Structure 1
Amino acid sequence: MAADRTPRAPHEQYRLADIPVDDAWVRKNNESLAEVRRLQWSAGILGVIVLAAGVGLLVYSGFEPWSWIVAVMAGVFAIGCLTMIGYIPRKMGSMQRTYSTSELVPAIIAEVRPRGVTLLALVDRAVDRSAGKLPALVARACGPIPGHEAKVGERVPCVAVVGNRSARGRDNLYQFISPMPVAWATSDKAALRRLERQIPSGEWERVRQNLDRVKDVTAVPTSLLPLD
């Protein structure tokens, strides 16, 4: 069955690509998926701690009326935390859909660190491209990327995972954009080369010319720096 290639913003066709997604490879290598798992664990642990604290306070107080109120509030909070365990992955959706509906963008390794690298990517903050482009640089720190050398200047085709449209979607900006390497989806080197070629050479060159600005980008709280 063909992948759902409907863009996240259906009013405009972004540059989408046919990306083979190996589920086993994703589970092993995709750091975005690992971040989701950490959020799930954090939500679960927090829920259990709050619930235990509420019950403990109830018992310690000798079941005073006020302690019941606190215990009920703790229980409601704990239920909310535990609900997030299932909500987070549903909200994110499958990795196949994420790769199929996110725009293909150029990213280059701008820094090599002891435990990984920093990617610098060229993205477009505009939701509706018919109103004009809003290019920006975005940085992402990650571990070593399979299929790529850990060296400054290494090209890493990515997809731009977007979210948090400001003003509840009334304007034309994405407030959050994160580059997600295609190499986290597949070990197929031929596919990586094909996707690298699908990105215009001018975009790769623009990223290369801005590699020395990676510190400026990472200094921004969102790691997203608009370009003139």
Structure 2
Amino acid sequence: MRRFEFAVDREHARAVNEIVADLRRLRVLALAAAGLFGVGTGYLIWLNHPWSYLLAVAFALGAATALFIGLWTPHRGRVDKLYTVGELVPAVVSETSDKATTLLALVDLAKPNSDGPRYALVTRTVRTLPGHHGRPGERVPAVTVRIDRAPTSMGDLRQTVSAIPIAWATRDLNIIERARKAIREVEWQLLTDNLELAAKVRRVDAKRLLLDPQQLPDELRSYAT
């Protein structure tokens, strides 16, 4: 797995990293829900009816679940960790508008014990892209965010892999350029050649498009670099 080490600008990341912002909103909503469920539990117990006790148990479980999410979310959204554990991958601007930019990224869905890589195209729509011009075809180095929701590992592919720009974690244009150069030209070229597939990726339910290994360049058919 290709790592890219750099000093994360936490202040910058908190301001522009959309994953951090989304997790922050999730935490607020979860804690608010925990409070409401807690009040509801107390009220149902106060009613002192058989049916209210049954509902109180359900409300209490809801409060516990929401509280767990609210307390766990900050650990999930640590900016440094996102960029430390993620794999450096290429992404290319595929579409722009006044309000958002769509990135097409090349990611490896294979799990560590797999025989070889399984490349796929994924898209991400971002509201901000500092350090970039946002022109179609522009190269945007990114890191993967991997999520396996299943409690046990199933199959050889990860369920969900997304990509977040390096530019969400640093203001330093030299770092962005260094990350860009650390990605092989064959990967950038593969994305450039498949830009028209971004619209198709957005339409599929899985939000990813697996690439046929037999149609990949030789350099991408194994883990060797």
Structure 2 residue identity aligned to 1:68: Y
In structure 2, relative to structure 1, the CA distance for the partners of 1:146 and 1:44 (3 Å cut) is same
Residue equivalent to 2:134 = 150
Aligned counterpart in structure 2 of residue 112 of structure 1, from 96, 100, 105: 96
TM-score scaled by length of structure 2: 0.86
Aligned counterpart in structure 2 of residue 76 of structure 1, from 61, 76, 97: 61
Please give the per-residue CA displacement for 1:164-221, whole angstroms capped at 9, x wherever unaligned.
1768224321111111100011000001001101101110011111111111101122
Please give the per-residue CA displacement for 1:83-126, whole angstroms capped at 9, x wherever unaligned.
21111222x26322221221100001111123111110011111
Worse-matched range after superposition: 168-177 or 31-40 = 168-177
Please give the per-residue CA displacement for 1:9-51, whole angstroms capped at 9, x wherever unaligned.
xxxxx01111220111111111111111121122122223333
Count the aligned residue pairs: 212
Structure 2 residue identity aligned to 1:208: T
- Equivalent position SS for 2:122: strand
Alignment of 1:161 with 2:148, yes or no, is no
Q: In the alignment, is the contact (CA less than 8 A) between 1:55 and 1:71 conserved in 2?
A: yes
Alignment of 1:89 with 2:74, yes or no, is yes
- Equivalent position SS for 1:16: coil
Structure 2 residue identity aligned to 1:223: K
In structure 2, relative to structure 1, the CA distance for the partners of 1:129 and 1:77 (3 Å cut) is closer
Cα distance in structure 1, aligned partners of 2:95 and 2:42: 49
Alignment of 1:16 with 2:16, yes or no, is no
In structure 2, relative to structure 1, the CA distance for the partners of 1:129 and 1:44 (3 Å cut) is same
Worse-matched range after superposition: 122-131 or 110-119 = 122-131
Cα distance in structure 2, aligned partners of 1:222 and 1:128: 21
Q: In the alignment, is the contact (CA less than 8 A) between 1:99 and 1:159 conserved in 2?
A: yes
Aligned counterpart in structure 1 of residue 156 of structure 2, from 160, 164, 172: 172
Worse-matched range after superposition: 43-52 or 112-121 = 43-52
Alignment of 1:46 with 2:30, yes or no, is no
- Equivalent position SS for 2:93: strand
- CA RMSD of the aligned region, Å? 2.0
Q: In the alignment, is the contact (CA less than 8 A) between 2:23 and 2:77 conserved in 1?
A: no
Cα distance in structure 2, aligned partners of 1:223 and 1:182: 21
Cα distance in structure 2, aligned partners of 1:58 and 1:191: 57
- Identity value in percent: 34
Structure 2 residue identity aligned to 1:19: F
Question: Unaligned regions of 5+ residues in structure 2, if any?
Answer: 213-225
Alignment of 1:22-61 (within 5 A): 22-57=9-44
Residue equivalent to 2:51 = 66
Question: Unaligned regions of 5+ residues in structure 1, if any?
Answer: 1-13
TM-aligned CA deviation for residue 163 of structure 1: 2.0
TM-aligned CA deviation for residue 58 of structure 1: 5.1
TM-score scaled by length of structure 1: 0.85
Cα distance in structure 2, aligned partners of 1:93 and 1:39: 11
TM-aligned CA deviation for residue 55 of structure 1: 4.0
